[in-house]
Chain A
Amino acid sequence: MTTAPDDTGDEARKQPRVHFDRHAPEYRHHFEEKTQEFHGGCPLAWSDTYGGHWVAAGNRELLAFARAGEKLSNDHDVHGERRGYQGISIPAPPRGRGLRGGFLEMDPPEQRAYRGALNPYLSPAAIKRWIPFIDEVTRACLDERIESGRIDFVDDLANIVPAVFTLAMMGIPLKKWELYNEPAHAGVYTPPNSPEMARVVEAHMAMIKDIAATLQEVRATPRPGLADALARMEIDGKAPADSDLIGALALLIGGGFDTTTALTAHALEWLSEHPAERERLSREREALLDTATEEFLRYFTPAPGDGRTVAEDCEISGKQFKEGDRLWLSWAMANRDPAVFADPDRVDLARGGNRHTAFGLGIHRCIGSNVARAVFKRMLLHVLDRVPDFVCDPEGTVHYETIGVIQGMRHLPATFTPGRRLGPGLAETLETLQRACDEQGLAEPVTVRKAEAKLR
């Protein structure tokens, strides 16, 4: 933290100053120090990086922003039709992508219409119906590896279960999960200047094409799911533009795939490093599963933050803001705020009063929070039951090089005492599950279908 010598004009407002570059590879290694610096005296500061923006790192400050209503905007004006705001990424993705990041880059009332259409598919009651489905995908993933005594928890488990389940909810054929998997993860971890980028862009285009085709298909031949909900939705009696619907579907893919993978991988890596805690969690799961899940969410915060644009001159949390100012809300740093969390850099599986912000705060609270929790918990329990003595291999572990977008992992290999298969492999299981989706209408909203998935 420094005080800039220039205290004239607009610069006087932009105090205190920090240098904050969350896309730099060093940030991952210095996250705790950097976070302590913010909490030590500048929970709300200005950084000149990426065209200049505010950084909010304190829990109190984030809550104030969450409650600021129309003073902040999520809008991404990709066609320059409104006020030119740049949405929730800082820096904004290169121009010309032409897609808004779904309802996360919209403001009410438009945003509310989307959430209203999608909530009945994603509420706690809606997700509970899918538990047997999630269990069956998880079982098949573990069966594929269990006789060998080796698994990559990312490639062989945590990439697959969230992907298959997300597609099931959307109403997209399960066997397409690989088509979506590559862009959903590589699109996040590949640095812009990497030689891999051309291939990633190609995979991303193939995914967008398939999303567009899905939209056409469900219009022609309706089948239940999130895609159908969007295809049928209207705002003030009018259907939204296809590009916005495609953006919304891409958001659901991005949100559904990479984040839960990141949470699961980090939690399993931590549990491998803390075998006594792993045994305790397994033994006392009745009491600890919920609190441990929330604690892993707090500590690892897969989606570290979101950008906003200030929509009117105003004062929030004691600072003066001007219309157009950019602002980074750091959910990850607020989750280490010592004013709210005792001993914030320690993992406490039984932590009480865990009002973490891993799913954000306010009206844009992660719409998939109930999906993430359910998928994470089912994967974790299956691992604890079937490969309880797993040991992760630090040599083969690959973390995302930068954690500016998602704090993720590419590989997490582990070994364990081999066990017995319980059923068919993944390919056959996906065929069985696809039939169940089609015959039982599993992807209907909870307002239409209340029953749990029946798989045996």
Chain B
Amino acid sequence: MKVRVDPERCQGHTLCAMRAPKVFELSEIDGHSSPVTEDVPADQEDAVVEAVRSCPERAISVF
């Protein structure tokens, strides 16, 4: 599984980092999110799916 955060859509709601703190990193400056790496570790896949479902801006995609 790979994950991407659309920087145009992300507004820094931080729910992704609550659901999958090992996968998403929040900018120290404005709290906007980016994945630590594009490849999701197998044991994080469920957490990432939950992050996708929780993002208010629908900014996260997995493929």
Interface residue B40 (Cβ < 8 Å from any Cβ of A): no
Residue from the list B26, B27, B28, B57 in contact with A66, Cβ < 8 A: B57
* A365 to B33 alpha-carbon distance, docked (Å): 14
**Cross-chain contact B29 with A355 (CB below 8 angstroms):** no
**Cross-chain contact B14 with A365 (CB below 8 angstroms):** no
Nearest residue in B to A356 (C-beta to C-beta)?
A: B56
Point out the residues of chain A lying under 8 angstroms from B57, CB to CB: 63, 66, 361-362
Instruction: Please classify the interface of chain B as helix (H, G, I), strand (E, B), loop, or mixed, using the class held by over half of its residues.
Output: loop
**Cross-chain contact A123 with B56 (CB below 8 angstroms):** no
* A362 to B55 alpha-carbon distance, docked (Å): 12
Interface residue B39 (Cβ < 8 Å from any Cβ of A): no
CB of A129, distance to nearest CB on chain B (Å): 11
Interface residue A264 (Cβ < 8 Å from any Cβ of B): no
How many of chain A's residues have a CB under 8 angstroms from any CB in B? 27
CB under 8 Å from chain A, chain B span 25-42: 26-31
**Cross-chain contact B26 with A124 (CB below 8 angstroms):** yes
CB under 8 Å from chain B, chain A span 265-320: 290, 294
**Cross-chain contact A123 with B27 (CB below 8 angstroms):** yes
**Cross-chain contact A353 with B18 (CB below 8 angstroms):** no
**Cross-chain contact A365 with B29 (CB below 8 angstroms):** no
CB of B10, distance to nearest CB on chain A (Å): 10
CB of B33, distance to nearest CB on chain A (Å): 10
**Cross-chain contact A123 with B28 (CB below 8 angstroms):** yes
**Cross-chain contact A353 with B54 (CB below 8 angstroms):** yes
Nearest residue in A to B11 (C-beta to C-beta)?
A: A365
Nearest residue in B to A289 (C-beta to C-beta)?
A: B18
Interface residue B53 (Cβ < 8 Å from any Cβ of A): yes
CB of B52, distance to nearest CB on chain A (Å): 9
Residue from the list A120, A290, A352, A362 in contact with B53, Cβ < 8 A: A352
- Asked, given contacts A124-B26, A446-B28, whether A355 binds B14 with beta carbons under 8 Å apart, the answer is no
Point out the residues of chain A lying under 8 angstroms from B18, CB to CB: 290, 294
* A217 to B53 alpha-carbon distance, docked (Å): 47
Point out the residues of chain B lying under 8 angstroms from A123, CB to CB: 12, 26-31
Interface residue A119 (Cβ < 8 Å from any Cβ of B): yes
CB of A343, distance to nearest CB on chain B (Å): 16
* A363 to B13 alpha-carbon distance, docked (Å): 11
**Cross-chain contact B11 with A63 (CB below 8 angstroms):** no
CB of A312, distance to nearest CB on chain B (Å): 20
Interface residue A36 (Cβ < 8 Å from any Cβ of B): no
Nearest residue in A to B17 (C-beta to C-beta)?
A: A124
**Cross-chain contact A361 with B50 (CB below 8 angstroms):** no
CB under 8 Å from chain B, chain A span 77-124: 115, 119-120, 123-124
Point out the residues of chain B lying under 8 angstroms from A361, CB to CB: 11, 56-57
Query: A343-370 vs B: 1/0 string, CB under 8 Å?
Result: 0000000001111110101110100011
**Cross-chain contact A365 with B13 (CB below 8 angstroms):** yes
* A355 to B14 alpha-carbon distance, docked (Å): 11
Interface residue A391 (Cβ < 8 Å from any Cβ of B): no
Binding site for B on A (CB under 8 A): 63, 66-67, 115, 119-120, 123-126, 290, 294, 352-357, 359, 361-363, 365, 369-370, 446-447
Q: Can you list 16 residue pairs at the A/B interface with Cβ under 8 Å?
A: A63-B58, A119-B29, A123-B27, A124-B17, A294-B18, A355-B54, A355-B58, A356-B56, A359-B13, A359-B56, A362-B11, A365-B13, A369-B13, A370-B14, A370-B31, A446-B29
Binding site for A on B (CB under 8 A): 9, 11-15, 17-18, 26-31, 50, 53-58
Given contacts A352-B54, A353-B53, 6 further A-B contacts (CB under 8 A): A66-B57, A125-B31, A355-B56, A357-B56, A362-B57, A365-B13
* A-B interface, 9 closest residue pairs, ranked by CB to CB distance from nearest: A353-B53, A119-B30, A365-B11, A125-B28, A123-B31, A355-B56, A290-B18, A124-B31, A120-B29
